[in-house]
Amino acid sequence: MKLRRDVFQAIADPTRRAILLLVASQSMTAGAIANNFDTARPTVSKHLQILTACELLAQEQQGREIIYHFNPNKMKEVADFIEPFRKMWDDRFNKLEEIMKKHQPNQ
């Protein structure tokens, strides 16, 4: 479930959304992906790492190169629109709990 939360963080970033968009249209190597951005290559690598970690992208070794594929099934899972609603309330309630725990000694 931790992973699921990370998926939302992953797609909250505009560069990562752009990467997904790109790879969704065609599977490609890290180098080819990086060529589409002005961002430094290590930054793009970092984004690819995050997207791979939460399974929005899948890696495939092809000879010396790693090809990145888009994982539509994971994307579909994100599309479950209840999750952001649930996360919104979970964040609020976590905050409530935190505030009231500190509040306790003042009682």
Interacting residues toward other proteins by CB under 8 A: 1-2, 5, 8, 11-12, 17, 20-21, 24-25, 72, 75-76, 78-79, 81-90, 92-97, 99-101, 103-104, 107
Give the H or E element holding residue 29: strand 28-29
Closest CA to 62 of 23, 25, 27: 27
How far is Cα 77 from Cα 89, in angstroms, rounded to an integer? 19
Q: Which is nearer to other proteins, 64 or 73 (CB)?
A: 73
Residue 11 CB, shortest distance to other proteins, in Å, is 6
- Cβ distance to other proteins smaller for residue 25 or 61: 25
Contact (CB, 8 A) for 107 and 67: no
Shortest reach from residue 100's CB to other proteins, in Å: 5
